Amino acid sequence: MDIISQLQEQVNTIALLAVNAFGTLQRDAPPVRLSTDYPEPAANSNPSNPNTTNADGNPNPNPNPSAKPSEEANNAAEQPKAMSAALVQAAKKFDALVAALPLSGEEAQLQRIAELQAENEAIGLELQKQLEAADLEMKQVQELFNHATDNCLNLKKPD
C-alpha cells in the first residue's frame, strides 16, 4: 500500500477513534444540573425500563444485579484514558507517515513532471506504432478472409 493510501486510512482511523471517544464521554458523563430553578428528578423514574422495581414493587437502585457499581465506575474512569491513549497513538502514527513523505522543492517537482511527460510521450508513440501495425495486420487478415470466403462461395479451388 502506498503512503498516500496509508495516510488516508490513518485519517479514517483517527476520525473513528475521535467519534467513539466523544460518544463514550457523552454517554458516561454524569448528569449536570443546569439551573437551580428546575425540580430534582425522582430517583429511578424510568417507566420504559420495567427492571427498575423489585418483585415487591419497591424501587431497585441497581437494575442490573450482575454488574457491580464499583466495576462500572472503574470501567467508566479507565475507558476514556484508554481511548485517549489510542487516539494519541494514531496521531503519532499519522505524524510518522507524514514525516516519511518525500520532500522536494518546486524545481524538483517540475523536473519530475517533465520526466513523466517525456516518458508518457515515448510510450504514447510506441503504442501508436503498435496500433498502426495491428491495423495493417487486421486489414491483411480481412483480405485473406474475404478471398477465402469468395472462393468458398464460388466453389473455386484455392490458387
Are 62 and 34 found together in one domain? yes
State pTM to two decimals: 0.47
**89-108 average pLDDT score:** 89
Distance CA 36, CA 20 (A): 32
Q: Which three cell numbers stand for residue 17?
A: 477513534
Convert 49-113 into a string of H (helix), E (strand) and C (coil): CHHHECCCCCECCCCCCCCCHHHHHHHHHHHHHHHHHHHHHHHHHHHHHHHCCCCCCHHHHHHHH
Categorize the per-residue pLDDT at 103 as very low, low, confident or very high, splitting at 50, 70 and 90: confident
Q: How many domains is the chain built from?
A: 2
The dihedral through the CA atoms of 129, 130, 133, 135 has a sign that is: negative
- For the chain, the straight-line distance linking the first and the last C-alpha, in angstroms and rounded, comes to 60
Are 16 and 78 found together in one domain? yes
Are 25 and 67 found together in one domain? yes
Residue type (1 letter), 106: E
Distance CA 77, CA 69 (A): 12
Residue-wise pLDDT for 4-40, tens only, equals 899 999 999 999 999 999 998 888 888 877 777 877 7
Are 113 and 96 found together in one domain? no
Are 15 and 90 found together in one domain? yes
Are 54 and 9 found together in one domain? yes
DSSP state of 38: S
Are 74 and 115 found together in one domain? no
- Answer whether 52's CB lies under 8 Å from 60's CB: yes
Count of helix runs (H) and strand runs (E) in the chain = 3, 0
Distance CA 96, CA 6 (A): 11
Q: Tell me the residue range of the domain where 147 lies.
A: 105-159
Are 99 and 110 found together in one domain? no
Are 63 and 43 found together in one domain? yes
Residue-wise pLDDT for 120-134, tens only, equals 999 999 999 999 999
Domain's final residue, options 103, 121, 141:
103
Are 94 and 111 found together in one domain? no
Higher-confidence residue of 76 and 21: namely: 21
